[in-house]
Amino acid sequence: MRRSRPRLSFITVEAVKVLVVEDHPMMVEGLRISLERAGLDVCGTALTAADGLELARRHQPQVAVLDFNLPDGTGAQLAEQLREASPDTAVIFVTGDESDSALLAALQAGARGYLLKSQPPSEVAEAVRQAARGVSVMPPGRISAAQMRAREAQRLQLEADRTRLAPRELEALTLAASGLATKQIATKLGVSLATGRWYVQQAIEKLGAHSKLEAVAKARRLGLLE
Amino acid sequence: MSGSAGLRAGVVRALAALGAGQAPERLVVSAIPVELRRRLARPDLEVFGELAAGRGGSAVIEVLGRPLGAATVTLVLHGDGSKVTTALCAPEGRLPEELRLAAAELQPGPFALRDQEGLAATRAATALAWVAHQPSEIPSDHRWWSEISGLVMLGELMNEG
């Protein structure tokens, strides 16, 4: 039996087209070189969000590598603008910003990755490839921890807002925290016993407490007492 | 020392101590390297700090490791407290042509230092590219971190060849 020769097929793999927006010239050049060495096509680099947006409109890159802190806005704002200017562009942040707020803003802006500037150049290139394939390279552990901290901060803020004490009520509570009885509090505040009692009672109620002691403890936890 | 302002604040304090003739050992040997290590978050890179033995000598904090080959990214805190120089150093090294543009905003070659001997003097003599800041002119943490991580990136790219 005569075997047919295997047919050779040539597959052209197009390099992923990448835009880099980073305000530090050394970083932008370093990223360009490392991405090009990894076989990616850096179609443009920009030092500002405005220039980055313009280049994205022109080149429609598959991936945009953005710094978070840019001289004319945040990378998250730019990512949102890119959604209109270049809808198929996946966004990856490469930043030195370790804050929860930056990470969550990036997530909110639809970023597909969030890497730190100190990560090896090869990891950045790999993240770009993954993002171009539609894979998210966001750090799940960091995101859930940041979301948990943000929820807790929001809860404490809400609680603090709800329990906002009038200045005299706060003074009364501060005096109670130093161990004074209601009568002594009234004397210190220069008010009648009934008024002093009213201030303390208001503070207890606003804090959702059942006693002076509990109100003091709760106020301390909320950072209302110095 | 923690948080994003930690590194800059630590270096400013160490420079002030050096300028006052003190030996900020805890900052140089422990606190600043710990903060740098934390921010780098790279198990393959090591950070250590060294204070010159003699009074008035410079302090060195440096990043080294396999990804950098023989190169180091070194912070030299000048012994008179006047400035910090951040440098990419390599013995007998040469910055490849490809990386020249990336290093365009840096000063090329060795930098001047009062120390005649010791690690700081060695690093000053083998610097390939560097940038110096007086304490009041150390950039914002974001920008300075870009400088430091940019130098680490250049070192890695140089080593990858």
CA–CA gap between residue A203 and residue A217 (Å, rounded): 12
B1 pLDDT above the threshold of 50: no
Q: What is the mean pLDDT of residues A119-127?
A: 92
By CB neighbour count within 10 A (0-12 exposed, 13-18 middle, 19+ buried), where does A14 fall? exposed
Residue A205, pLDDT > 80, answer yes
What does the domain layout of chain B look like in residue ranges?
Answer: 6-160
Gap between the Cα atoms of A73 and A89, Å rounded: 19
Q: Residue A137, SS3?
A: strand
Chain A / chain B CB contacts < 8 angstroms: 77
- Specify the pTM: 0.76
| Residue pLDDT, tens place only, A126-149 | 999 999 999 998 877 888 887 888
Q: Strand pairing of B127-133 and B84-89?
A: antiparallel
List residues bridging with B62 in a β-sheet: B48, B74
Q: What is the DSSP string of A180-212?
A: --HHHHHHHHTS-HHHHHHHHHHHHHHTT-SSH
pLDDT digits (tens, 9 = 90+) for B66-95: 999 999 999 999 999 999 999 999 998 788
pLDDT at A92: 96
A123 pLDDT higher than 80: yes
End-to-end CA distance of chain B: 36
Say if A154 is an interface residue toward chain B (CB within 8 Å).
no
- Ordered domains of chain A (ranges, CATH): 17-139 (3.40.50.2300), 163-221 (1.10.10.10)
A16-64 per-position pLDDT tens digit: 999 999 999 999 999 999 999 999 999 999 999 999 999 999 999 999 9
Count of beta carbons in the 10 Å neighbourhood of residue B151 = 31
Question: Which residues does chain B have within 8 Å of residue A22's beta carbon, measured at their own beta carbons?
Answer: 146
Question: Alpha helices of A91-226 — where are they, by DSSP H?
Answer: 100-108, 121-132, 140-162, 167-177, 182-189, 193-206, 212-221
Could you give the CA distance from residue B39 to residue B48 in angstroms, rounded to a whole number? 14
Question: Which H or E run includes A57?
Answer: helix A49-59
Q: Is A141 on the interface with B (CB under 8 A)?
A: no
Q: How far is B146 from chain A (nearest CA, A)?
A: 7
* Alpha carbons A130 and A204: distance in angstroms, whole number: 55
- Summarised one tens digit per residue, pLDDT across range B92-147 is 878 888 888 889 889 999 999 999 999 999 999 999 999 999 999 998 877 888 89
Distance, in angstroms, between A164 CA and closest chain B CA? Answer: 30
Provide CB contacts within 8 A for B122, sequence distance 6+. Answer: none
Of A22, A116, A120, the CB nearest to B67: A120
* pLDDT surpassing 90 at residue B5: no
Under an 8 A CB cutoff, do A99 and B41 touch?
Answer: no
Closest B-chain CA to A25: B102
Indicate the fold that domain B6-160 takes in CATH: Metal Transport, Frataxin; Chain A (3.30.920)
Residue B107: other Cβ atoms inside 10 A: 14
ipTM score for this prediction: 0.89
Rounded CA gap, B91 and B144, in Å? Answer: 25
